[in-house]
C-alpha cells in the first residue's frame, strides 16, 4: 500500500493521486455534456472478478460512442492493478472512465475532441448492505418517471445520464423505500439505479430482454442459472407479470445478487430472501474463487 492512498487511489491526467485529491477539468465535456462511458469492476479477496469481460464491455461502449481511450487493454489493466495495489484494498470498487474530453480550437465537431481517460479504486460499494443475508431491498416502481428510451440514449452503453434514476431515487425515498425500479414507455420493467432485475415467476427466472444495461453480474447469474438447471429467460417483462413474482432480486457489481423483499411496501413472498435468490447468491460469491474469473492483484 502507498501511504495516503488508504481511502482510495485515482489515475487522472497521467498521475496517481489519493482519491480525495482527484480532479478533472471543469470544461471536459465528460462533465459539461455527460459525453462519457465507464465501467465498474469489483475486486474481491485480492483479485479482479471478470476483468476481461468488463474491459471488453468498456471498449465496446467507447466504440459505440466513438471515443478513443488513450490506453489499450494492456495499459488499462496495468493502471487498474496499480490503483488497487496502491490502495491496499482487498475488496474494491474500481471504475474506468473515458470522456470526449476537450474541444480542440473551439470546434463543436465531436470527432475533433481530445478524449480523456480516468480511473479510480475505492473500498467495495454495497448497494445493499450484506449484514443480514435475509435483509432485502425495499423497492418501489416509480410512478413519476420513465426510463430514458434507447432511441434517445443507448442503455447498453454504460452512461452517467442518471436524471431518470435520480428522480426515481427521490420518489422511492419519499414513498418509504430506497430502491427505484423504472418502467419503459410501454410499461415494461427495465432496471433500477445501478442494478438489473430478475423475477421468479412460476418455475421460470425472468429478466428484461431490452432497455437495460447488459450487466456482467446479470450475465453471471444467467450462466449460473443454466449450470443449476434453472430455466432463465430474457423477456419483455411487463409490470403485471413482475408483480406476480414469488421472488425478485437485483444484480450489480456493487453488491452482487441482492434480494428484493418488498415492492411498493408489500412483502414479496414471505418478505425474506427466497430459495432461488439464496442459491444464486451463494453460487455468485462462490464463483469469485474460480481461477477462470480471477485476475489477482500483486500487492
What is the grid cell recorded at 291?
Answer: 481461477
15 binds a copy of itself (CB under 8 A): no
Interface with a copy of itself, residue 110, by CB under 8 A: yes
**Residue 119 bridge partners (DSSP):** 11, 96
Say which DSSP state 20 is in. G
The Cα diameter of the chain in Å comes to: 61
Q: Which stretch binds a copy of itself (CB under 8 A): 143-151, 195-203, 204-212, 276-284?
A: 143-151
Cβ-based nearer residue to a copy of itself, 12 or 248: 12
Given the complex with a copy of itself, which of 47 and 183 has the nearer CB atom?
Answer: 183
Q: Which residues make beta-bridge pairs with 181?
A: 141, 192
# binding residues, a copy of itself (CB under 8 A): 51
Select from 24-32, 55-63, 214-222, 234-242 the region that touches a copy of itself (CB under 8 A).
24-32
Least gap, CB of 215 to a copy of itself (angstroms): 17
Binders of a copy of itself among residues 189 to 208 (CB under 8 A) are 193
Phi-psi region of 58 (alpha: psi -120 to 50; beta: other; left: phi over 0): alpha
Q: Which CA distances in Å does 37 have to 55, 69, 90?
A: 12, 10, 26
Minimum distance from residue 95 beta carbon to a copy of itself (Å): 8
Q: What are the phi and psi torsion angles at 60 (to 5°)?
A: -65, -40
**3-class SS of residue 96:** strand
Grid cell in block for residue 283: 453460487
Q: Which is nearer to a copy of itself, 110 or 269 (CB)?
A: 110
C-beta of 196: minimal distance to a copy of itself in Å?
A: 17
Figure out which of the listed residues 5, 9, 10, 79 binds a copy of itself, where binding follows CB under 8 A.
10
Nearer Cβ to a copy of itself (55/172): 172
Residue recorded with cell 460499494: 125
- The window from 28-36, 52-60, 212-220, 288-296 that contacts a copy of itself (CB under 8 A) reads 28-36
Angle subtended at Cα 9 by Cα 284 and Cα 294, rounded to the nearest 5 degrees: 30
Interactions with a copy of itself, residue window 151-170 (CB under 8 A): 151-154, 159-166, 169-170
CB of 83 to a copy of itself, least distance (A): 12
Residue 182's Cβ-count burial label (10 Å; 0-12, 13-18, 19+) is buried
C-alpha 67, offset from chain centre: 20
**Nearest 5 degrees, angle CA 217-CA 220-CA 225?**
125
Distance CA 62, CA 36 (A): 8
109 binds a copy of itself (CB under 8 A): yes
Contact window for a copy of itself (CB under 8 A) among 44-52, 55-63, 70-78, 149-157: 149-157
Contact residue for a copy of itself among 5, 30, 197, 215 (CB under 8 A) = 30
- The span from the CA of 242 to the CA of 105, in Å, is 51
List residues near a copy of itself by CB under 8 A: 10, 12, 19, 22-27, 30-35, 38, 65-66, 100, 106, 108-111, 118, 120, 125, 127, 145-149, 151-154, 159-166, 169-170, 173, 178, 185, 193
Amino acid at each position: 500500500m502507498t501511504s495516503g492512498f488508504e481511502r482510495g487511489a485515482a489515475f487522472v491526467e497521467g498521475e496517481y493521486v489519493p482519491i480525495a485529491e482527484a480532479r478533472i477539468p471543469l470544461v471536459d465535456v465528460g462533465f459539461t455534456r455527460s459525453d462519457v462511458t465507464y465501467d465498474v469492476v469489483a475486486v474481491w479477496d485480492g483479485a479482479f472478478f471478470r476483468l476481461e469481460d468488463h474491459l471488453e464491455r468498456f471498449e465496446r461502449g467507447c466504440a459505440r460512442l466513438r471515443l478513443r481511450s488513450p490506453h489499450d487493454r494492456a495499459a488499462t489493466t496495468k493502471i487498474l492493478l496499480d490503483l488497487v495495489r496502491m490502495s491496499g484494498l482487498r475488496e474494491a470498487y474500481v471504475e474506468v472512465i473515458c470522456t470526449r474530453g476537450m474541444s480542440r480550437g473551439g470546434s463543436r465537431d465531436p470527432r475533433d475532441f481530445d478524449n480523456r481517460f480516468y480511473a479510480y479504486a475505492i473500498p467495495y460499494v454495497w448497494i445493499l448492505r450484506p449484514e443480514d443475508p435475509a435483509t432485502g431491498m425495499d423497492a418501489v416502481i416509480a410512478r413519476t418517471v420513465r426510463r430514458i428510451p434507447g432511441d434517445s440514449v443507448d442503455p447498453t452503453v454504460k452512461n452517467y445520464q442518471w436524471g431518470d434514476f435520480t428522480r426515481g431515487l427521490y420518489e422511492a425515498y419519499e414513498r418509504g423505500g430506497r430502491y427505484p425500479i423504472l418502467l419503459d414507455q410501454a410499461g415494461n420493467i427495465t432496471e433500477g439505479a445501478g442494478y438489473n432485475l430478475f423475477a421468479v415467476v412460476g418455475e421460470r427466472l425472468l429478466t428484461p430482454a431490452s432497455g437495460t444495461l447488459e450487466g456482467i453480474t446479470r450475465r453471471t447469474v444467467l450462466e449460473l442459472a443454466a449450470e443449476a438447471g434453472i430455466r432463465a429467460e430474457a423477456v419483455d417483462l411487463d409490470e403485471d407479470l413482475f408483480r406476480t413474482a414469488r421472488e425478485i432480486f437485483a444484480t450489480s457489481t456493487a453488491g452482487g445478487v441482492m434480494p428484493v423483499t418488498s415492492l411498493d411496501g408489500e412483502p414479496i413472498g414471505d418478505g425474506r430472501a427466497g430459495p432461488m435468490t439464496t442459491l444464486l447468491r451463494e453460487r455468485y460469491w462462490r464463483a469469485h474463487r474460480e481461477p477462470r474469473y480471477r485476475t489477482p492483484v500483486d500487492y
